[in-house]
Amino acid sequence: MDTLVFVFSGQGNQSPGMGKELFDELPAVRDVFERHELIRPGTKAQCFSGDAQTLNQTINAQPCLFTLSFAIAAALEQEGVSPCMLAGFSLGEISALAFADVFSGDDGFRFVCQRAEAMQKASFHSPGGMAAVLKLSSMQVGALCKEIGNLYPVNYNCPQQVVVAGSAEALAKLAQAAASIGGRALPLKVSGAFHSPLMDEASLELLEILKDYHLSPARLPVFANMTAQPYTSYAQNMIANQVNHPVLWQETIENMIKNGVRDFIEVGAGSTLCGLIGKIDKNVSTMHIHNKESFDEAIRRYAKEPIHAEK
Are 268 and 68 contacting, i.e. CB atoms less than 8 angstroms apart? yes
E strand or H helix at 299: helix 292-302
Q: Given this model, what pLDDT does residue 122 score?
A: 95
CA atoms within 13 A on the CB side of 67: 33
| One-character DSSP codes across 23-42 | HHH-HHHHHHHHHHHHHSTT
Distance, CA of 153 to CA of 195 (rounded, Å): 9
Q: What is the DSSP-derived secondary structure letter of residue 303?
A: -
Q: What residues are annotated to the active site?
A: 90, 195
Complete domains list, the chain, with CATH: 4-124+196-302 (3.40.366.10), 128-187 (3.30.70.250)
Q: Given this model, what pLDDT does residue 305 score?
A: 62
Distance, CA of 221 to CA of 86 (rounded, Å): 6
**pTM summary value:** 0.93
Q: Given this model, what pLDDT does residue 190 score?
A: 81
Digits of tens for pLDDT over the chain (311 positions)?
489 999 999 988 899 999 999 999 999 999 999 999 999 999 999 999 989 999 989 999 999 999 999 999 999 999 999 999 999 999 999 999 999 999 999 999 999 999 999 999 999 999 999 999 999 999 999 999 999 999 999 999 999 999 999 999 999 999 999 999 999 999 987 889 999 999 999 999 999 999 999 999 999 999 999 999 999 877 899 999 999 999 999 999 999 999 999 999 999 998 999 999 999 999 999 999 989 999 999 999 999 864 444 43
Which residue from 75, 36, 275, 39 is spatially nearest to 47, judged by alpha carbons? 36
Which residue from 81, 91, 103 is spatially nearest to 265, judged by alpha carbons? 81
Pairing verdict, β 184-187 and 129-134: antiparallel
CA of residue 90 relative to chain centroid, distance: 4
Q: What angle do CA 80, 248, 267 make, to 5 degrees?
A: 25
Question: Mutual orientation of helices 91-99 and 107-125 as an angle, nearest 10°?
Answer: 170
Burial of 189 (0-12, 13-18, 19+ CB in 10 A): middle
- Rg of the chain (C-alpha set): 19
Burial of 242 (0-12, 13-18, 19+ CB in 10 A): buried
CA-CA-CA-CA torsion sign (83, 88, 94, 97): positive
Written in H, E and C, the secondary structure of 181-248 is CCCEEEECCCCCCCCCHHHHHHHHHHHHHHHHCCECCCCCCEECCCCCCECCCCHHHHHHHHHHCCEC
Distance, CA of 89 to CA of 283 (rounded, Å): 21
Are 289 and 19 contacting, i.e. CB atoms less than 8 angstroms apart? no
